[in-house]
Chains A and B, each alone.
Chain A
Amino acid sequence: MEKSVILEMKDITKRFGKTLANDHINLRLYQGEIHALLGENGAGKSTLMNILLGIYRPNSGEIFYKGKRVSIKSPKHAVELGIGMVHQHFELIPTLSVAENIFLSIGQCKFILNKKNMEETIARYAEKFGLAVDPAAKVWQLSVGEQQRVEIMKLLCRDCEIMILDEPSAVLTPQESKEMFRTLRKMADEGKTVIFISHKMSEVMEHADRITVLKGGKVEDEMLAKDATVERLTKAVVGLRSLEKTVRSPIKENSSLLLEIEHLCVHNDKGIDALKDVSFSLRQGEIFAIAGVAGNGQRELAEALAGLRKVKSGCIRMNGRDITKSNARQRMEMGISFIPEDRLQMGLIPGMNMKQNIILKKFREPEYSRFGFLRNKSIKAVTEKYVETYDIKNGGIELPVSMMSGGNQQKLLVAREIQCDPVLIIAAYPVRGLDIGASEAIHRILMEQRNRGACVLLISEELDEIFDMSDRVAVLCDGKVMGIRNTSETDYDEIGRLMSGETA
């Protein structure tokens, strides 16, 4: 079947102040294809999609939809045209049922709801596209993967022709994402056009028909997926900048035991058991990964280790000493560093400047304060040293860090956390949302810390990252450790199965 062009963006340019977010971008979508949009953070992917959704208007350029020139004025207008998006953070109301959420989104909210009719419509679509969703289930009961299916269903029920998905696999287990891509393929076969944003080259090559790579606001490369190679994509994404591979020194045979965790039980914020009888131990000079889908106790584990969350039962021993009852400040002083998962909620203070963020944990030290007064000069000097050592790009050290890019924020946070030569670094999703360049930088820093003799507890849901970085891996599911493996002796499949709760 000869595929026809459904949408064409011509010479799209979008400017924010002085920065050119999109620079004469041309993008062509064919009906019934899966199109991948690849690129680093700040390459202009989101801006381009937001233009397509009518959230931004381009400074110049034209959009042709089904051969006609259109200007997309608002998200509502985009929906009317048949363009919809699944955002990374789902827009669902947890207390309502799947059917209610879907009908809310398509605006069919009459005074009296015809629930039965709603549920039948959804079941029909579900069958047609192979989307297994129970229309009567409440959203809060659903797994992340199921919630994503609800979001996709919302677009289908609105008769969207073009569906945009923002990093759809980021929140899924490998098995779930495989299934999600199967669904997308089915939709494409039915004539829908799918475009997804991604950071991961492997999934792009495996699941897309065509790939467009953006870099610095321009189209860097465009290819059929079958012509794509890792080398070609890497070159297009990061350019000629070479990516140093992190060097891993062999693990020391006689490295001593650092931390022992025994029968740890911890509550989550709602007072429900988040960790159930978790035991493992960490050695000096290793990267110990915690694999698992987010929300299975990782946050509680990290916070319990950092002294930020009360331990209900069980104990934590460091170098043989019981530290279960010590508080966050004491743990800091013992050499435990913590890179939290949501850096702007905890870890960095977005409204304060770089200097103030850098001294966050060390303002009490004589280097930074004397007689209770801050020493501005030395704080400034240290900040400038950080900027240089870790190549942190910023608009000025006096500006709030909220104005820096995510990658640079993370570099700042990681740099601060390793500055005191910690013995244990808890790193929760350290590269989540970062582009390839920044991810590499963070990984390199963590590997250096490992080689120095520190222990890194790497919490991650990316199997690539886990297999690249870690020496050992424990899989967490529903607050329980499903298994601990040497990374060299296991494979993606086994870890993936453990992540979904299958006992080996």
Chain B
Amino acid sequence: MDIGAIQIEKKQVVPLINKILNPIIFVLLGLAFGSIMIIAVGFNPITVYSKMISYSFFRLRGISGSIKAGLPLMLCGLSVSVAFKMNLNNIGAEGQYAMGAILGGWFALFGPEMPIMLKLIVMFLLCAAGGALWAMIAAALKAYWNVNETIVTLMLNYVALLFLDYLCYGPWMAKKQTTAISESIPKGMHLPDIGNTGINAGILIAVLIAVFLYIYLRMTTAGYQMEVIRNSRKTAEYAGINVRKHILMVLGLSGAIAGLAGFVQVTGVVHRVQAQLPGGSGYTGIVIAYLSQFNPIAVIIVSILFGGLVNSCAAVQIMGVPSQIATMLQGSIMIFVIAGEFFNHYKVSFNSAKRDRYYKIDRNQHKEIEGVKQ
């Protein structure tokens, strides 16, 4: 591409150092941009930022809070990442999350009596199943009729969220409650914290899934086949790979992971089923997946940072910074980091004077030639 004096070239290989350094630089730029807004409302950006950072990342309670806030984001981020590894745009993590919470929550609230550990495990499986089945509606449409999965997963979000609303405002709504929220699930099913750290045990689930995905994508024949399909569906078919099966499998897996976000949120944080439970995590998960470049391990780290960002933006409100500004800060950091991704994959160069020097000499002669032609 050539836009005037600026030339843009696609990079063949992105060095690791760029991959790491680039987001950091753009986070800093995002903060710099955000400081304009902070100054505009009459605060000192340095004190605001240092408050934010110290609140979320330099206290044990802050860190555990960041992890807690980041937990559903991790699972949604992992969900989006695994689907994207086959070029499937699952933007339905939000709905799969809700369906996981509905199916698992139903069992926790109304399921039969049984040993509490067993009940917890069944709930875990049902949450995964709820998300998986919801995603597989889109997968089946994609696999058999090549229906665009982006649109289907998005639309199914509304269905799932409204269904959750219906349940929480209607049949499941707790007595003596004015908000759309169910009764509490049995005490024994509350996911505990790890020791005294205040870090919820749900993190173990997320980390185990991330490690599993990392190995699955890199070292197994299934991961290899996914990569072949991602690169060229035609070649995959040529190699006798069952593309349909993989679409169902991968979107199912993706949905299951999103469904588990429902599990950790219901058992670890809310302890009830609530209307609007996902609260946008499914969409933030998309951003996290992109920022992590679909690397499962990176998703964990980026999610914690995001959780911290959410919490610390809340914290600066205590200082008197308007909540809108806090949300704008979140947004500006996100936008900068995403925009920064561009520079990881494209090389931008300016036509230097040196390059043109050789040609300048005969610009006049060029005019002469044109004269000759006319």
Residue of A with least CB distance to B215: A373
* Interface residue? A363 (CB, 8 A): yes
Residues of A within 8 A of B (CB): 57, 60, 65-66, 68-71, 73, 77, 80-82, 306, 308, 327-330, 332, 338, 340, 345-352, 356, 359-361, 363-364, 369, 372-374, 400, 403
B240 within 8 A of partner (CB): yes
Task: Indicate which residue in A68, A73, A348 contacts B235 across the interface (CB closer than 8 Å).
Answer: A348
With a CB–CB cut-off of 8 A, which chain B residues contact A374?
219-221, 224
Partner of A328, one of B220, B227, B240, B366: B240
The docked-state distance in angstroms from the alpha carbon of A352 to that of B234 is 15
| Shortest CB distance B136–A (Å) | 22
Q: Contacts A66-B372, A82-B373, A356-B224 given: A328-B237 contact, CB under 8 Å? A: yes
* A-chain residues with CB within 8 Å of residue B232 when the two chains form the complex: 345-346, 349
**B12 contacts chain A at the CB level, 8 A cutoff:** yes
- Shortest beta-carbon distance from B16 to chain A in Å: 14
Query: How many whole Å from A293's CB to the nearest CB in chain B?
Result: 23
B228 close to A68 (CB less than 8 A): no
Report B192-244 residues with CB < 8 Å from chain A CB: 219-222, 224-225, 227-228, 231-232, 234-235, 237-242
Instruction: Tell me, in angstroms, the Cα distance from A351 to B238 when the chains sit together.
Output: 16
- A–B Cβ pairs within 8 angstroms, 7 of them: A68-B372, A308-B237, A328-B238, A345-B232, A361-B240, A372-B220, A373-B219
Q: Are B240 and A69 in contact (CB under 8 A)?
A: no
Once bound together, how far apart are the Cα atoms of A382 and B70, in whole Å? 44
Which chain B residue lies CB-closest to A359? B224
B359 CB within 8 Å of chain A = yes
Query: Complex: how many Å from CA A369 to CA B219?
Result: 10
What's the tally of chain B residues with a CB closer than 8 Å to chain A?
30
Per-residue 0/1 for B348-374: is the Cβ within 8 Å of any A Cβ (1 yes, 0 no)? 000000000011001101101110110
Q: Which of A77, A327, A348, A373 has the most CB of B within 10 A?
A: A373
B369 / chain A contacts, CB cutoff of 8 Å: 65-66, 68, 70, 81
Q: Which 10 A-B pairs have the closest CB atoms?
A: A329-B240, A346-B234, A349-B231, A328-B240, A360-B239, A71-B359, A369-B221, A346-B238, A68-B369, A372-B220
Q: Once the chains bind, are B221 and A373 in contact (CB under 8 Å)?
A: yes
- With a cutoff of 8 Å between Cβ atoms, the chain A residues found around residue B224 in the complex are 356, 359, 363, 374
CB distance from A164 to the nearest CB of B (A): 19
- Please report the number of residue pairs spanning A and B whose Cβ atoms sit closer than 8 angstroms: 90
Q: Please judge, given known A-B contacts A68-B369, A327-B240, A356-B227, whether A349 and B221 are in contact too, CB under 8 Å.
A: no
Known: A68-B368, A70-B366, A71-B362. A347 touches B235 (CB 8 A): yes
Give the docked Cα–Cα distance between A327 and B244 (Å): 14
Q: A68-B369, A69-B362 are in contact. Are A347 and B231 (CB under 8 A)?
A: no
How many whole Å from B11's CB to the nearest CB in chain A? 12
Residue of A at shortest CB range from B222? A372
A360 touches B228 (CB 8 A): yes
CA distance A372 to B223 in the complex (A): 10
Closest to A363 in B: B221
Find the B residue at minimum CB distance from A329.
B240
Which chain B residue lies CB-closest to A369?
B221
Q: Determine the distance from Cα of A363 to Cα of B229 in the docked complex, in whole angstroms.
A: 14
Collect the chain B residues with CB atoms within 8 Å of residue A66's CB.
369, 372
Tell me if B238 and A347 are in contact (CB < 8 A): yes
- Chain A residue at minimal CB-CB distance from B355: A57
- Complex CA–CA separation, A265 to B226 (angstroms): 33
| B-side contacts of A332, CB under 8 Å | 239-240
B366 and chain A: residue at smallest CB distance: A70
User: In the complex, how many angstroms separate the beta carbon of B96 from the nearest chain A beta carbon?
Assistant: 25
Asked whether A73 and B359 contact (CB < 8 A) given A65-B369, A308-B238, the answer is yes
With A346-B234, A360-B228, A373-B219 given, can you name 19 additional A-B contacts, CB distance below 8 Å?
A65-B369, A66-B369, A66-B372, A68-B368, A68-B372, A71-B358, A71-B362, A80-B370, A80-B373, A329-B240, A345-B232, A345-B235, A346-B232, A347-B235, A347-B238, A348-B235, A349-B232, A349-B235, A400-B12
Shortest distance in angstroms between A482's beta carbon and chain B's nearest beta carbon? 29
Chain A residues, Cβ within 8 Å of B238: 306, 308, 328, 338, 340, 346-347
> Which residues of chain B come closer than 8 Å to A73, judged between CB atoms?
359, 366
Q: Which residue of A lies closest to B241 (CB)?
A: A329
Chain B residues whose CB sits within 8 angstroms of the CB of A359 once the complex forms = 224
For B368, the chain A residues whose CB sits under 8 A away are: 68
Find chain A residues with CB under 8 A from B240 CB. Answer: 327-330, 332, 361
Cα separation A141 to B308 with both chains bound (whole Å): 62
Query: Which residue in A71, A346, A356, A360 is a CB contact (below 8 Å) of B366?
Result: A71
Q: How far is the CA of A332 from the CA of B236 in the complex (A)?
A: 13
Shortest Cβ distance from B229 into A: residue: A349
Complex: chain B residue closest to A72, CB-CB: B366
Residues from chain A with Cβ under 8 Å of B373 in the complex: 80-82
Most buried by A among B220, B222, B224, B238: B238
Give the residues in chain A near B228, CB-CB below 8 Å.
Answer: 349, 352, 356, 360
List A contacts of B12 (CB < 8 A).
400, 403
Most buried by A among B12, B224, B241: B224
A347: chain B residues within 8 A (beta carbon): 235, 238
CA distance A66 to B371 in the complex (A): 12
In chain B, positions 319-374 with a C-beta closer than 8 Å to chain A are 358-359, 362-363, 365-366, 368-370, 372-373
Using CB atoms, name the residue of chain B closest to A327. Answer: B240
- Could you say which residues of chain B place their CB within 8 Å of the CB of A327? 240
Kindly state the separation between the CA atoms of A54 and B237 in the bound complex, as whole angstroms.
41
Q: Are A360 and B235 in contact (CB under 8 A)?
A: yes
A66 to B201, CA, bound (A): 81
Known contacts A69-B362, A81-B373; A372/B221 CB under 8 A = yes
Chain B, residues 168-180, CB within 8 Å of chain A (1/0): the string is 0000000000000
**Residues of chain B within 8 A of A308, CB atoms compared:** 237-238
Cβ contact of B221, chosen from A71, A345, A351, A364, cutoff 8 A: A364
Q: Is the CB of B227 within 8 A of A352?
A: yes
Smallest Cβ distance from B374 to chain A, in angstroms?
11
Measured CB to CB, the nearest residue on chain B to A338 is B238
List residues of chain A with CB within 8 A of the CB of B234: 345-346
The smallest C-beta distance from B168 to any residue of chain A, in angstroms, reads 41
Residue of B nearest to A74 (CB): B2
**Chain A, Cβ-Cβ closest to B216:** A372
- A282 to B227 alpha-carbon distance, docked (Å): 36
Of all chain B residues, the one with the shortest Cβ separation from A73 is B359
- Distance (whole angstroms) from the CB of A148 to the closest CB of chain B: 27
Given the complex, which residues of A lie within 8 Å of B365, measured CB to CB?
68-70
Q: How many angstroms from the CA of A329 to the CA of B231 in the assembled complex?
A: 19
Please give me the residue from chain B that is nearest to A57 by CB atom.
B359
B5 to chain A: closest CB distance in Å? 13
B219 to chain A, nearest CB (A): 5
- When C-beta atoms are compared, the residue in chain B nearest to A362 turns out to be B239
The smallest beta-carbon distance between A80 and chain B, in angstroms, is 7
Which residues of chain B come closer than 8 Å to A68, judged between CB atoms? Answer: 365, 368-369, 372
A101 to chain B, nearest CB (A): 25
